[in-house]
Amino acid sequence: MPELPEVQTIVSELNEKIKYKTIKNVQVFKYKSVRPMNKKFVQSIKGRKILGVARRAKMIIINLSGDKHLLIHLKMTGQLVFRDRRGKGLSGGHPIAFQGELPTKFTRAAFEFADKSHLFFNDIRRFGWIKFADRKLYENETAKYGLEPLSKDFTFSAFKEKLKRYPNRKIKQVLMDQTLIAGVGNIYADEICFAARVLPARPTNKLTEQEIKDLFKAIPRILKLSISKKGTSADTYVTTSGAEGGMMKYLKVYGRAGEKCRRCGGAVHKIKLGGRGTHFCPICQK
């Protein structure tokens, strides 16, 4: 699923398109994809103004008037499609083929704005969801996630405290634990470990102080680089303009099993770690 850089790219681009629009109407085609799973979802949203689009971890947040929010998670196959009043479309997330006609059989919900533009939420496998949240639910949902690695709260001491919680866990598993550090997934965990010259399978209690510092510095650096390139399209993600993210050619190990390491020339290896494909250089990383 899209990780922090990909979600941030969608958020930034979507914010430019829908901020300050008023929701005129809402259609739900699959109530399983929305919460609450009844007509109160529609009634609660109609007439509200969009104040902006934000991100928490891998979750998209559409802030609404009246201190209410739409929380959206694309999961494995979710897609957001914006259509302006002339029918010109922008889609972000996982590309789902359609012949220009919306809604499709994969559309779970559609939002019509007062200016006749639309936002469609499509999802093939129905793992994605949209939740209408008041302040209490919003706080409960956002509190589930750990440190935001691009925020001022992401300090070296805070990072060290997260590592201490699970001293026997492998460092990659800690990096991907959303309750500890928000937004880092499989791609960027591999890239962060490579940048810090640390093997992904190293237990956290075996890391030196310098290695912890190197990891701490690598996390925001790698994520910011990817955001600047509009994310990685390794898992069919596309930006809201329909373009592939430009980070692929900057990846050092992810997706490069058997190829030469771009740092030392050795071969990049791939193993399974916690059920996930994991890429590393056994020469550069210790």
Query: Quick check: is 200 catalytic?
Result: no
The two three-digit tokens of residue 57, written as one number: 């971890």
Spatial distance between the Cα atoms of 38 and 50, rounded to a whole number of angstroms: 22
Of 48, 58, 230, 252, which one is the catalytic site residue? Answer: 58
The burial of 24, by beta-carbon neighbours within 10 Å (0-12 exposed, 13-18 middle, 19 or more buried), is given as: middle
Query: Quick check: is 3 catalytic?
Result: yes
Of 229, 270, 276, 282, which one is the catalytic site residue? Answer: 276
Of 2, 5, 149, 200, which one is the catalytic site residue? Answer: 2
Query: Is the peptide bond between 220 and the residue preceding it cis, with omega within 30 degrees of 0?
Result: no
Query: Quick check: is 56 catalytic?
Result: no
Query: Quick check: is 58 catalytic?
Result: yes
Identify whether the C-beta of residue 176 lies closer than 8 Å to the C-beta of residue 57: no
Return the DSSP state at 151. S
Q: Which residues are known catalytic residues?
A: 2-3, 58, 276
